[in-house]
């Protein structure tokens, strides 16, 4: 049985985390994304005008799926599209011999401009893979029957290298016990229910967060508008229309944010929520918590995930998420 571990290296401000992947004989840095289900890369088929500074997948090593294509739009309105190959993909020693690899023929500006990222490796459910005419499986679904345990884990860290594992849980990476919650995969996401919250350890805050997804591909923590408003009232933040979100002082006084999941409380340090200065040297920071208005549910992105050890587990028949304090 296979198992393995790969580093997750943070970009500036932990905006995204990138992991090394070998596709054919190309070595690429991909953004592992539990919020989508396509494995795509900049390629020899991506226009030079869009791929300056990126490593590219050489599709010559692959077998083209004739007449197949893909096209994806992400929650932040970025997107890409192209052709489809099968090729050997290796992640931390775990090998998929015939993985669908989606070669980009077009990518949106934010992907071209982020030269650290050579593409994405989707880890949501294969039901939302965009390949036509026949949907393809994610890397995890492709290797799942060969894994020691049908699960992968995510250990993202603030400003430091973390890791993803496939096929095993590394109990040295968390403290205390793991709390498991059921996952509703009907929309293709790692969707769960979050409970009550508190700001700055003040257990007077009431209400509950509700339906949420665990999304490594989203940088911030998007919560219901009422919860977000309650947080910034205590944090001394304000909604800045020009910035299109809440901002707050960078000065280190931001309160912690705690949320109950499966009856256990998980805490995001205030320092994670003073996310990044509006511009270099500014004493005002963009907030790591923002309202989930219009999305339909909350998004537990990297700001939350780097405060926990997360286990994405399909070994029990029904999918489940495990969380433990880091």
Catalytic positions, written as ranges = 33, 215
CB neighbours of 172 closer than 8 A, spacing ≥ 6? Answer: none
Cα dist from 154 to 21, 219, 253, 255, whole Å: 16, 14, 28, 25
Segment near ligand 45M (CB under 6 A), from 71-79, 93-101, 153-161, 202-210? 71-79
Segment near ligand 45M (CB under 6 A), from 1-9, 80-88, 213-221, 276-284? 213-221
CB 290 within 8 A of CB 277: no
Segment near ligand 45M (CB under 6 A), from 49-57, 74-82, 196-204, 256-264? 74-82
Tokens of 153: 């884990």
Preceding omega of 133 cis (within 30 degrees of 0): yes
Cα dist from 308 to 153, 314, 317, 323, whole Å: 11, 19, 24, 6
Rounded to a whole number of angstroms, the minimum distance from the CB of residue 76 to ligand 45M is 5
CB 269 within 8 A of CB 307: yes
* Residue closer to ligand 45M (CB basis): 107 or 147: 107
CB 123 within 8 A of CB 33: yes
- Among 40, 57, 68, 74, interactor with ligand 45M by CB under 6 A: 74
- Among 217, 224, 262, 270, interactor with ligand 45M by CB under 6 A: 217
* Residue closer to ligand 45M (CB basis): 76 or 170: 76
Rounded to a whole number of angstroms, the minimum distance from the CB of residue 122 to ligand 45M is 8
Using the rule CB under 6 A, is 295 a contact of ligand 45M? Answer: yes
* Residue closer to ligand 45M (CB basis): 76 or 202: 76
Instruction: Please state whether beta strands 94-107 and 39-41 pair in parallel, antiparallel, or not at all (unpaired).
Output: parallel
Segment near ligand 45M (CB under 6 A), from 37-45, 69-77, 149-157, 201-209? 69-77
Hey, is 25 helix, strand or coil? coil
Rounded to a whole number of angstroms, the minimum distance from the CB of residue 314 to ligand 45M is 19
Q: Is the dihedral of CA 217, 218, 223, 228 positive or negative?
A: positive
- Among 83, 86, 117, 218, interactor with ligand 45M by CB under 6 A: 218
Q: DSSP secondary-structure letter at 185?
A: -
Using the rule CB under 6 A, is 143 a contact of ligand 45M? Answer: no
Number of residues that bind ligand 45M (CB under 6 A): 13
The residues that touch ligand 45M, with contacts defined as CB under 6 A, are 33, 35-36, 74-76, 78, 213, 215, 217-218, 295, 299
């Amino acid at each position: 049985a296979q198992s393995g571990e790969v580093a997750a290296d943070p970009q500036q401000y932990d905006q995204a985390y990138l992991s090394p992947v070998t596709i054919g004989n190309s070595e690429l840095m991909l953004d592992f994304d539990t919020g989508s289900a396509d494995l795509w890369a900049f390629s020899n088929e991506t226009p030079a005008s869009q791929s300056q500074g990126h490593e590219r997948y050489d599709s010559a090593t692959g077998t083209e799926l004739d007449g197949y294509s893909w096209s994806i739009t992400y929650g932040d309105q970025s997107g890409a599209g192209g052709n489809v190959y099968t090729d050997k993909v290796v992640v931390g020693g775990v090998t998929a011999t015939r993985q669908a690899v989606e070669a980009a023929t077009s990518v949106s500006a934010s992907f071209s401009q982020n030269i650290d990222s050579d593409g994405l490796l989707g880890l949501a459910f294969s039901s939302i893979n965009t390949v036509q005419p026949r949907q393809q499986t994610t890397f995890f679904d492709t290797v799942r029957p060969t894994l020691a345990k049908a699960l992968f884990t995510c250990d993202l860290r603030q400003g430091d290298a973390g890791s993803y594992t496939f096929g095993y849980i590394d109990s040295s990476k968390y403290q205390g016990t793991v709390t498991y919650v059921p996952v509703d995969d009907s929309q293709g996401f790692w969707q769960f229910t979050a409970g009550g919250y508190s700001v700055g350890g003040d257990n007077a805050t009431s209400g509950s967060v509700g339906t949420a997804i665990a999304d490594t591909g989203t940088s911030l923590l998007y919560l219901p508008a009422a919860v977000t408003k309650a947080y910034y009232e205590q944090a001394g933040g304000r909604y800045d229309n020009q910035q299109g979100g809440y901002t707050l002082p960078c000065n280190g006084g931001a309160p912690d944010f705690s949320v109950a999941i499966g009856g256990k409380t998980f805490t995001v340090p205030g320092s994670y929520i003073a996310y990044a200065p509006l511009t270099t040297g500014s004493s005002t920071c963009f907030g790591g918590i923002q309202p989930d208005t219009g999305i339909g549910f909350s998004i537990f992105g990297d700001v939350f995930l780097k405060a926990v050890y997360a286990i994405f587990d399909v070994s029990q028949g029904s999918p489940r998420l495990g969380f433990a304090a880091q």
